[in-house]
């Protein structure tokens, strides 16, 4: 199973329309999920948008077709380890990125993102980029 990161869906929605992303969605149909952290980020963005009702409806439709992975104890442990290790190295990542990395790593999932630069620093995390620029 893969885990979808919101950078593709939220920050760069035009990227979802790219053929390579659509092909990957079809290739992995039924194998991907989103983190509850990703869902939170999407809802936050929708709530502060100009048209929250419309955007929340899109999120409802999108998330209804995917499994939402709950963030639990193991994810929290991995997140704490990741944040501490990267802080010691002087290469921290943002707290939500650390949570997503911890979530994916703890469950043995692949994190799909076009923000590879942040996540490639996380030891033991499998990352895929479906978007070539």
- Let me know: does 37 contact 96? Beta carbons within 8 Å: yes
Helices (H), the chain: 6, 19-27, 36-47, 52-64, 73-89, 95-107, 116-119
Q: Is 97 among the annotated ligand-binding positions? A: yes
Domain boundaries, the chain: 2-128
Query: Which pLDDT value is given to residue 5?
Result: 64
pLDDT, tens only, 9-63? 555 555 555 666 667 777 877 888 889 998 998 899 889 989 999 989 988 888 8
Q: What is 2-128's CATH number?
A: 3.40.50.1010
Its pTM stands at: 0.84
Cα separations in angstroms, 43 against 34, 68, 81, 90? 13, 13, 27, 31
Query: Which pLDDT value is given to residue 7?
Result: 57
Please give the mean pLDDT across all residues of the chain: 85
């Amino acid at each position: 199973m893969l885990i979808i990161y919101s950078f593709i869906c939220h920050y760069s929605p035009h990227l979802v329309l790219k053929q390579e992303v659509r092909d990957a969605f079809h290739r992995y149909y039924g194998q991907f999920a989103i983190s509850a952290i990703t869902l939170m980020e999407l809802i936050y963005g929708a709530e502060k948008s100009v048209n929250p009702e419309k955007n929340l409806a899109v999120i409802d439709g999108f998330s209804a077709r995917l499994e939402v992975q709950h963030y639990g104890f193991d994810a929290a442990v991995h997140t704490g380890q990741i944040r501490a290790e990267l802080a010691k190295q002087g290469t921290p990542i943002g707290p939500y990125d650390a949570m997503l990395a911890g979530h994916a790593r703890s469950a043995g999932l692949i994190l799909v993102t076009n923000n590879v630069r942040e996540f490639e620093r996380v030891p033991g995390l499998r990352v895929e980029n479906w978007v070539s620029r």
